[in-house]
A and B are shown apart, each in its own frame.
Chain A
């Protein structure tokens, strides 16, 4: 009996090591490749490990490939859009959770219904709206429109439903204005759920491709994802630079992942939804 149990355990471990190998190796391979010299990179047969570790591909990506600009654009878009997301989605979630007003249910259902209209469906009219508003080729065009997320509003609303009304009434009796109430009571209470939304928003915006694809055509305004996808479609793919760009583009997300893994998992489990 004990023998069988140990054997079973051994099998589970073996299986897990194989599976996680399959999930880990592709990333390891791209990281190892990024550290090779371009000649080493194109050599056939390929060597598994770099002969000598070099950062020359990263240098070329920044110097020749304009990668600094893409990195800067992506950072600006991610940070600004995330800040806007946090402010406006918390406000909306709070209104829907803690006020009784005409049309509140309708607005909530309306917000959630927008999940049925993903960007993939309305690429064409979005492009026209963006152009009409003068947002074409402007970073604002990929900062503002994606900032309102139904998932974010819903997440915050659900969380704030649990806040007792008495707390707010007490502050009102003390003479706090509704605006002060929001900033001084609601925002601190909602901090855990706001940080979950912050992590997700960061990841969504950093990795976003479809918005930049529709809004941006000027290479000076490219985000990292847009740049990579455009360069990989070229006839002569510049693999050394592309691989270096991809590796750098994964680092911010990796840091967020390592620090906030628990919150991320909680966010997925409680909402079960994506952007």
Chain B
């Protein structure tokens, strides 16, 4: 024992802070400070270089009348409203199928899970190659069946649909895995008892499975809502935000204002609005996770 007891005590007091230093530094420099600056920028006309005058609430007031922003915000909301229930149904449905006793269960699970590991950019590319109006294989198959080719990417409504389909393809597996874990944690005795009492499989699903899945369901809905409001790379690769601005969602809109038009002050104010949406959802997620069995 070379060290004195006093020195040892001091070491033990200091060491946790030393262990935390790298993380604290990175979070401080690359999250906390930028977050504070983001708030400050939102009250200025900052252009990314030299110009930066305080203009009070002017950015926020301008946003209130900004058609383009609210259009993209509305588009994102509609996308979220469409995609979240579909992800929920898809993930729960596949999870229910794949918790039954069947052969090749692991392979089926792997196939559905695999796309979640493909990057959003490549997901976008894969589906663009399929949906391409003049070169996509899908339109070829549609023609083979004797129908007219569909303008997938040059029609606004259709383009949004392709975004939804690609999102489902790339996200369902992730949430399926969470549902499978939750389903497998429901004691089999519950179902056995219900079966003895003569409950049909539909009754068992609505009276046992669904109520017990409530915390998991809540978590999955919130996580996929956050995903939806952050959607950007997949769309950038698949549609580029077009045709026109028909698939330009909120993050891309902010990105373009900040980096293409260099209206960084104004774009910061838009970011703050998006922050409130995501912060509320994240806070709900913490609450949901605490109430759930995911620990």
- Measuring CB to CB, which residues of chain A are less than 8 angstroms from any residue of chain B? 9, 12-13, 15-16, 19-20, 22-24, 26-27, 29-30, 33, 42, 44-46, 87-89, 91-92, 94-96, 99, 101, 104, 107, 110-112, 114-118, 120-129, 133, 144-145, 147-148, 153, 158, 175, 177-179, 182, 203, 206-210, 225, 228-229, 232-233, 239, 242-243, 246, 249-250, 253-254, 256-257, 261, 265, 268-270, 272, 274
Interface set, chain B 232-259, CB cutoff 8 A to A: 232-233, 236-237, 240, 251, 254-255, 258-259
Which of the listed residues A175, A229, A256 has the most CB atoms from chain B within 10 Å of its own CB? A229
Q: Is the CB of A33 within 8 A of B129?
A: yes
Q: Is the CB of A210 within 8 A of B233?
A: yes
The minimal Cβ–Cβ distance linking B66 to chain A, given in whole angstroms, is 17
Q: Is the CB of B118 within 8 A of A250?
A: yes
Given contacts A95-B19, A116-B275, list 4 more A-B pairs with CB under 8 A.
A88-B23, A268-B174, A269-B177, A272-B178
Contact of B129 among A92, A121, A145, A239 (CB under 8 A): A239
Taking CB atoms, residues of chain A closer than 8 Å to B267 are 124
Q: Is the CB of A129 within 8 A of B34?
A: yes
Whether, in the assembled complex, B15 has its beta carbon less than 8 Å from a beta carbon of chain A, the answer is: yes
Q: Is the CB of A20 within 8 A of B112?
A: yes
Contact of B120 among A42, A127, A177, A207 (CB under 8 A): A207
The minimal Cβ–Cβ distance linking B13 to chain A, given in whole angstroms, is 7
Cα distance A122–B27 in the bound complex, in angstroms: 13
- Assuming the contacts A116-B279, A121-B271, A125-B37, asked whether A26 and B97 have C-beta atoms less than 8 A apart, the reply is no
Whether, in the assembled complex, B125 has its beta carbon less than 8 Å from a beta carbon of chain A, the answer is: yes
Contact of B178 among A87, A118, A145, A269 (CB under 8 A): A269
Whether, in the assembled complex, B190 has its beta carbon less than 8 Å from a beta carbon of chain A, the answer is: no
Q: Is the CB of A125 within 8 A of B127?
A: no
- Assuming the contacts A26-B169, A121-B38, A232-B128, asked whether A249 and B271 have C-beta atoms less than 8 A apart, the reply is no
Q: Is the CB of B111 within 8 A of A23?
A: yes
Q: Is the CB of A15 within 8 A of B38?
A: no
